[in-house]
Amino acid sequence: MSISVLGAGAFGTALAICLSRAAPVTLWSRDDDHAREMREGRENARRLPNHPFPDDLTVTASLPDACDADVVLLAVPMQQLRPLVAAHAEYLQTKTLVACCKGMDLESGAGPIEVLAGHLSETTSALLTGPSFANDIAAGLPTGLTLACADENTGRALQHQLSTPSLRLYRTTDTIGASLGGALKNVIAIACGAAMGAGLGESARAALLTRGFAEMQRLALYKGAQARTLSGLSGFGDLVLTCTSKQSRNYRLGVSIGAGKGFDPSTTVEGSATARAAARAAQEEGLDMPITSAVAGLVEKRLDVTDAINGLLSRSLKEE
């Protein structure tokens, strides 16, 4: 089966590089000039420099050509997923689609699988998520991810097709848990970064990470997820990586907020929109998610770090 990757950001490019070491892969960029640069230079100098393309990696700016593949990986930012599939449903319908983005759609609160199902009734959809950085995947460093697909037979086939000697995929049918784990961990990473940027220390970060994990479970279980999914790669594993590494854009945004410094607005930070969507969902459903609500206040600039911390510390004492 042939594979295409839609989205020539760092993560999409890394997946294309990794997968094309084993079989031909097509990488799509919406930008003609960017596609030409990658074809000529045989690397993505804009988004993932110093990782040469394998010979079996083809670059195109033609969406119909890219969608000619049997399996299409959608490696676009979460807030771009709905506009992409809505505008190009004719090319994506009937394909096996694998969403590779993490987050909640700001307008609807939906996750990647729900977005695809809402626009593409004839497709089979899966989600690829878990603790990973683009540089590690492109360099061939060992990485474990979760492949979530409601159809077990399709999930099993995709697991074998997309696993490589350096990329090990674990399969689950719990698409809700995998989706929410990957989305909500970005929110907690912003909180942890803000604590470190404000100089609150490692102990504060550990407390935020742990209590943030409880919030992730609270919303995910309410939505019908399985607890063990949140304890796996797509939940706890991704949470630990994202909350402790400066490679994480969500963590770096939090650090900049905590330190009172500016942050490049062109950098995609999925946790910013997800915090707002998750806080709204928690309020509507009557769920207690104070860290998520605080992060939403920070990214919307309704709160500063001092207000957010004071609000969390002044809450009534409770059992763990």
185 catalytic per annotation: yes
Q: Give one DSSP letter per residue of the chain, joined into a string.
A: --EEEE--SHHHHHHHHHHTTTS-EEEE-S-HHHHHHHHHHSSBTTTBTT-PPPTTEEEES-HHHHTTSSEEEE-S-HHHHHHHHHHSHHHHTTSEEEE---S--TTT---HHHHHHHH-TT-EEEEEESS--HHHHHTT--EEEEEE-SSHHHHHHHHHHH--SSEEEEEES-HHHHHHHHHHHHHHHHHHHHHHHTT--HHHHHHHHHHHHHHHHHHHHHTT--HHHHTSIIIIIHHHHHHH-TT-HHHHHHHHHHHT----TTS--HHHHHHHHHHHHHHHHT---HHHHHHHHHHTTSS-HHHHHHHHHTSPP---
Q: ∠ CA(203), CA(229), CA(317), 5° rounding?
A: 40
- Cα 168 to chain centroid distance, Å, stands at 17
C-alpha distances in Å from residue 165, one per residue of 18, 21, 141, 172: 10, 10, 10, 20
What is the rounded CA–CA span in Å between residue 125 and residue 230? 20
Structure tokens at 187: 């929110």
Contact 81, 56 (CB under 8 A): no
Catalytic residue among 95, 102, 185, 223: 185
The catalytic site residues sit at 185
